[in-house]
Structure 1
Amino acid sequence: MSGSPPELPIVVLDALMPTAQNLVLNRRGSMVWEVQSRRGHYAVKIGYPIEATAEWPAQPWTALAPAREGAVLLRLGLVDLAYGEWEHGTWNFQPWHEGPDLYKLWEPCRRPGSSIEPHISVAMGCVESLAELHAKGWAHGDVQPAHFIIGPERTHLIDLALAQGGHVPEGYDFPFRGCLVHYEAPEVARSVLDTGEAEPTSEADIYALGASLLISATGWRAVEYPDDAPRSIQREAVADGRRRPVKGPGELGNLVDAMLSHIPEDRPTIFEVGKALNSL
């Protein structure tokens, strides 16, 4: 990729014919655009490979991620989308979801001295969106606060490029090598350390949801490690279960603790989490 300002690939421009476009993300192998067109309001994702640096190995899979996500979304029944290839990788477009993400919405709860508690209804919206995915036989693999968009009518779970649960075209598939370590379940972290790969599961999604609720409500991640630690050191801390002595507010905190159990089988299912939230 050159250092010139990024532009949408010609194939996407031809498909959407934008009336307005705004680059909202451009980092490490991925660009996301908000695009308005006569066809509708879309998120456009553009992938390209990450070149090796002194700090990071090369990551060719990022070029395939948008097409893989497009294939997953089609398998899940979304029809208002498309995906394909461009000269540096792949792309997709899908409906744009308006609203703040979970971390941004709960920012007032994290202010020093704040007495504002997280709304249980917001947590329930996150649970419902993940429950829909699990009910279809898929695990998300990359649950984190930024991937829950709290809309005016419902919560949307986005970024399904790493999801597992059904057929993905071989040319766009790639192994799961973990996700953002803050939200990685201990068994996932251990597998990545030992083999370089792991398997997304519904139990790991539950752990990640618990970690997402905790950090969004308190500002603290679930596991103790230095902020600037190498990723392998972070994963060792997660795999060893080095929990921080921090707890979410009220009864939500007890539920989150159960979701963050070191043993996958001891975590509640997504439906049990929903039932527990309904009783709060």
Structure 2
Amino acid sequence: MRTLEDRFGPLTYDLLSDRRGSRAWKIRTGSGTMALKANDPGSGNARDKTVELEQENRYLRRLGEVGAIDQGYRIDSGRWDDGHWLAVRWIDGVPLWRALSDTRGPEGDRPSVRPWMLGIARTWAQRLARLHAVGWAHADVQPTNALVTRAGTTEIIDYALACGPDPTERLPYRGALTHTTAPEIADAVLSTDDGTHIQAAPSADVWGLGASLFWCWTGHRPVRYEDDAKREDKLRAVAQGHSLDLNAVRPWPFPEFEMLIASCMNADPAARPTAAELAETC
């Protein structure tokens, strides 16, 4: 905090999360608000989280340089006695699950809701298309990494696992959240050892987008497996295509949105639309 105070002056902060080896705060200063992430030195995977934060810092620099994200998103980064910290611009939005909470029931079908939901999908696809255009995949497309603003637009956060054109000098990518993992990624994780890097493609991001919309609109994870199943069994269900029938779990009919989700979750990566194509059709 001292480094940020030296740069921005007096600040206040609130702890937002403390889980899986990392902590996040909302930082308020006289010149603006930011999000601060740092590794938890007391966790069992503190070293990996330190490397992951350093990795995200490098990626944000590169993505800003090539115009895939706003260069002003990354604010500062550095080392501290017990690891690494990263400060980024605060995005005033709510995670997708919360944003779509009112749509998960018959009463959610209102005249204003349908264009709003399509706008969420369209702007999310636009953000991903910028990454894909320069050879990157976000590789962790899931509801908590998509923030919906009051204007109904989607902003992407958390680039720590992103896959760029150069797969060297990085932690091996082994998939992200199982519930939104594309089948081809699940299959690759199951068929390789833990030290093998899996290069996520843009088409896997598109699957994650569709799976996230499925999950947050219906309230059901898109693939059928037990909550207490081992990760390997969950990945096997994903790889084998054990997806739920959207028609059976949708809260109300929305043909255009259903077609969008179905196209994103095509089992064949080559048959999925690109993020740019999605942005044009939403």
- State whether TM-score is above 0.5: yes
1:40 equivalent in alignment to 2:40: no
- 1:89 equivalenced with 2:76 (yes/no): no
| Equivalent position SS for 2:94 | coil
Identity of aligned residues (%): 33
Query: 5 Å matches for 1:250-265?
Result: 250-265=255-270
- Which 10-residue stretch deviates more, 210-219 or 112-121? 112-121
Q: Is the 8 A contact 2:246 2:258 kept in 1?
A: no
RMSD between superposed Cα atoms in Å: 2.3
Cα pair 1:70 1:83 within 8 Å, conserved = yes
Task: Give the Cα separation in 1 of the matches to 2:93 and 2:134.
Answer: 25
- Matches of 2:46 and 2:241, distance apart in 1: 28
The corresponding residue for 2:51 is 64
Matched residue SS, 1:242 = coil
The 3 A distance-change label for structure 1 pair 258 and 49 is farther
Structure 2 CA distance, aligned partners of 1:37 and 1:266?
47
Segment drifting more, 127-136 vs 201-210:
127-136
Cα shift at 1:65: 1.9
1:25 to 2, 17, 21: 17
Corresponding position: 1:225 with 2:212: no
Aligned residues of 2:178 and 2:234 also touching (Cα < 8 A): yes
Q: Give secondary structure in 2 for the equivalent of 1:226.
A: coil
Q: What is the TM-score with the length of structure 1 in the denominator? A: 0.85
Letter in structure 1 aligned against 2:154? T
In 2, the alpha carbon distance for the partners of 1:204 and 1:155 equals 18
The one of 185, 189, 192 aligned to 2:189: 192
| Alignment correspondent of 1:155 | 154
Contact 2:40 2:46 (8 Å CA) reproduced: no
Q: Is contact 1:75-1:166 (8 Å) kept? A: no
2:68 alignment partner in structure 1: none
Q: Which amino acid aligns with 1:148?
A: A
Greater CA drift, 220-229 or 70-79: 70-79
Matches of 1:102 and 1:233, distance apart in 2: 26
Residue ranges of structure 2 left out of the alignment (5+ in a row): 65-70
Q: Distance in 2 between matches of 1:238 and 1:85?
A: 38
Aligned partners of 1:114 and 1:85: how far apart in 2?
46
1:252 and 1:73 map into 2 onto residues whose CA distance is 31
Q: Residues 156-171 of structure 1: matches in 2 within 5 Å? A: 156-166=155-165, 170=169
Equivalent-residue separation in structure 1 for 2:17 and 2:93 (angstroms): 16
Report how far residue 168 of structure 1 moved. 8.6
2:104 aligns with 110
Unaligned runs of 5+ residues in structure 1 are 1-7, 53-57
Q: Which whole-Å CA distance do the structure 1 matches of 2:269 and 2:10 have between them?
A: 45
Deviations 1:98-147 (A, max 9, x none): 01122211100113664345521122121112112212321000001111
- Residues in 2 aligned to 1:104 and 1:250: alpha-carbon distance in whole angstroms: 22
Deviations 1:30-69 (A, max 9, x none): 11100011342110011247855xxxxx574222222211
The yes-or-no answer on 1:240 pairing with 2:237 is: no
1:140 aligned residue: 138
Using the TM superposition, give the Cα deviation of residue 181 of structure 1 relative to its aligned residue in structure 2, in angstroms: 0.3
Q: Counterpart amino acid of 2:172?
A: P
TM normalised by structure 2 equals 0.84
Q: Which moved more, 1:117-126 or 1:35-44?
A: 117-126
Match for 2:198: what amino acid? A
